[in-house]
A and B are shown apart, each in its own frame.
Chain A
Amino acid sequence: MTSGHVAFGDMNTGQALEYPEEAAHRHRANRWQRWLLPAGILAALAVWQLLTASALVPAFLLPSPLAVADRFLRGWNDASLARHTLVTLSEVLAGLSLGVLAAAILGYVVAKSPAVERFLSPYIVASQAIPIVAIAPLLVIWFGPGRLSKILIAALIVFFPVLVNTVVGVRSVPQDLRELMRSLRATRWQTFSLLEIPAALPVLLGGLKIGATLSVIGAVVGEFVGADEGLGFLVNVGRGLYDTALVFVAVFLLIGMALALYGLVAWFERQVSWRREENRP
């Protein structure tokens, strides 16, 4: 199970059973831990600013945080930054949806049918073994330098982890509960929607979280290979012009995009998860 999250939707019943001292202790711990993340970020920014101010590193190699902020504002004002961000975001979302959809459907079939699994497993393993960077150029040649090739690359990189998690999730549905559904004369659809989906959901969402961050990498790899728009393209432009501030801006936007997607899935996971937090004594 993924660590750290309060993975339980119904807080009423969850908290009622906790000992008061324990809850208080956790509360205290939370209070000062809350400051760790912003403090860490501030510290990193300070070190970075000092490093550039001390002239140990030339400005064209490492721009100062202020220079990066300035570059960001300039890009934002002439609207180019927003456009490139939206291009990459659209590729990421389309690739992620496509990859997840294909992997979830195929994963379900594989989980249900050993014959299909035996037939497909060499391809599935191969899809994982091929380094994405190596076949990205091929996909760009086949599908052109437009968005389609990026979407396909993102979908491909997302495919494997989501597929594996789907198979594991569907296989983890307890046999006893399947038998219960059978004894209640549930239809296939009822077994699917009322048993398999909720039972597999925690594992499925784990796969989706990994897929969400990978899809950003996939789109950028595609843009590196050949594109005239997108954040990956901006990184390339910045490199060519020695505009390192622009490279930083693009990289930060990519990180932000991946984090936002991850956070979105994690939030959704917390809303629907029925699994207990595991670190209770």
Chain B
Amino acid sequence: MTPRVSLLSANELTVWFPNGNGGLHALDRVSFDVAPKDFVCIVGPSGSGKTTILRLLAGLLQPTRGEVRVGGQPLREPRRGTGFVFQQANLMPWRTVLDNIALPLELEHQPLDAARRRAGELLTLVGLEGFESAHPQDLSGGMAQRVAIARALIHDPDLLLLDEPFGSLDALTRERMAAELMRIWEARHVTVVLVTHSIPEAVLLADRVLVVSARPWRVVLDLPIRLGRPRTLELSYTAEFGKLVRRVRDSIE
């Protein structure tokens, strides 16, 4: 195997949010590297700084101390090659589904019909053909989230950041969406960092699971998941899978 250079590295990330009594720690010297084409899942209890980590990786937030490097360069602001999927679908209600997906290209002044054509292809990829001219209000939570994923993919990102993208979905839809995301990832081989609070979901999807905790605001476990690919839901009934879930679970206590 060739030595893998890291696409993304977080070095000693420390974040303080100012509050009434002298500031609140949200992260304390958090470091990790992500290799290209890796699928990394971040799990942790609510309020442990998962969203904060993703916002740092996206360049939406600057750390109080430490730095994020992408491809060796320090990250100062959002970069073009990053796709971000928010905790809520975050679609514009006045735009059609197709125009929501095309938004990133429109902001780059690309020709509108080419952008729409590309958006149409992605809509098919996420299984929503026929909903081009629907408005977000007409979609279910899962459909809206798939639109958001399509939007994040439209400018062919090399890095996809997802913040609990399936958080608001029921268990069955969640499993389907996770499988779909794996399929997209395998087809395109982008680097994925996904935040979730479901441990089995993290183990099923990831090459590596990072566990973060609050007080101390640290990475408490960095666990490689050496299970074969492609993976299916069947895998989650094996003893090996159960053991990995158990290890992640135990690290949180």
Q: Interface of A with B (CB < 8 Å)?
A: 10, 12-13, 17, 174, 176-177, 179-186, 190, 194-195, 198-199, 274-276
Contact B133 A177 (CB under 8 A): no
11 other A-B residue contacts (CB within 8 Å) besides A13-B134, A177-B90, A183-B78 = A177-B92, A179-B60, A180-B84, A184-B78, A184-B103, A184-B104, A190-B107, A194-B107, A274-B93, A274-B94, A275-B93
Q: Which of B58, B77, B82, B135 has the most CB of A within 10 A?
A: B135
Q: What are 18 residue pairs bridging A and B, where the CB atoms are less than 8 Å apart in the complex? A: A174-B90, A176-B86, A176-B88, A177-B90, A179-B60, A179-B86, A180-B90, A181-B107, A183-B58, A183-B59, A183-B84, A184-B78, A184-B107, A185-B77, A194-B106, A198-B92, A199-B94, A276-B137
Contacts of A186 in B (CB 8 A): 107
Of all chain A residues, the one with the shortest Cβ separation from B78 is A183
Taking the closest CB of chain B, its distance from the CB of A229, in whole angstroms, is: 43
| Most B C-beta atoms less than 10 A away, residue of A10, A184, A274 | A184
Judged by a CB distance under 8 angstroms, whether B138 is at the interface is yes
B interface: dominant SS: loop
Q: Which 8 A-B pairs have the closest CB atoms?
A: A274-B94, A183-B84, A198-B94, A183-B78, A176-B90, A184-B104, A186-B107, A184-B107
- Closest residue of chain A to B94 (Cβ to Cβ) is A274
CB pair A274–B135 under 8 Å, yes or no, is yes
B249: shortest Cβ distance to chain A, in Å? 31
Number of A-B contacts (CB under 8 A): 52
Which residues of the other chain, B, contact A274 by a CB distance below 8 angstroms? Answer: 93-94, 135
Residue of B nearest to A179 (CB): B60
B117 on the A face (CB < 8 A)? no
Q: Which residues of A contact B92 (CB under 8 A)?
A: 177, 195, 198-199
Interface residue B231 (Cβ < 8 Å from any Cβ of A)? no
Contact partners of A13 in chain B: CB under 8 A: 133-135, 138
Docked complex Cα distance between A179 and B59 (Å):
11
Inter-chain contacts of B188 with A (CB < 8 A): none
Question: Interface majority SS on A: helix, strand, loop or mixed?
Answer: helix
Q: Given the complex, which residues of A lie within 8 Å of B90, measured CB to CB?
A: 174, 176-177, 180
Chain B 118-153 interface mask (CB, 8 Å, partner A; 1/0): 000000000000000111011000000000000000
Measured between beta carbons, the chain B residues less than 8 angstroms from A199 are 92, 94
Tell yes or no: B247 within 8 A of A by CB. Answer: no
Known A-B contacts A10-B135, A13-B138, A274-B135; A185 and B107 likewise in contact (beta carbons under 8 Å): yes
Q: Please measure, in the bound complex, the distance between the C-alpha atom of A177 and the C-alpha atom of B92, giving whole angstroms.
A: 8
A177-B92, A179-B86, A274-B94 known; A185 vs B60 contact (CB < 8 Å) = no
Within 8 Å by CB of A182, from B60, B93, B96, B106, lies B60
Contacts of A198 in B (CB 8 A): 92, 94
Q: How far is the CA of A144 from the CA of B23 in the complex (A)?
A: 59
Chain B residue numbers with a CB within 8 Å of A177 are 90, 92
Q: Residues of A contacting B60 with CB < 8 Å?
A: 179, 182-183
Q: Which residues of B contact A180 (CB under 8 A)?
A: 84, 86, 90
Shortest CB–CB separation between residue A170 and chain B, in angstroms? 15
Minimal Cβ-Cβ distance residue in B for A176: B90
CA of A99 to CA of B96, assembled, Å: 33
Chain A CB within 8 A of B80 CB: yes
Contact present for A182 and B78 (CB under 8 Å):
yes
- Expressed in whole angstroms, the minimum distance between the Cβ of A13 and any Cβ of chain B is 5
Residues of B within 8 A of A12 (CB): 133
Q: Which positions 60-109 of chain B face chain A at CB distance < 8 Å?
A: 60, 77-78, 80, 82, 84, 86, 88, 90, 92-94, 96, 103-104, 106-107
**B79 to chain A: closest residue by CB:** A185
Q: Which residues of B contact A195 (CB under 8 A)?
A: 92
Q: Which residues of B contact A174 (CB under 8 A)?
A: 90
Residue in A closest to B138 when the chains form the complex, CB atoms:
A13
Q: A183 and B82 in contact (CB under 8 A), knowing A176-B88, A274-B94? A: yes
> Bound complex: CA of A274 vs CA of B91, how far in Å?
13
Shortest Cβ gap from A14 to chain B (Å): 8
Nearest-Cβ distance from residue A102 to partner chain B, whole angstroms: 26
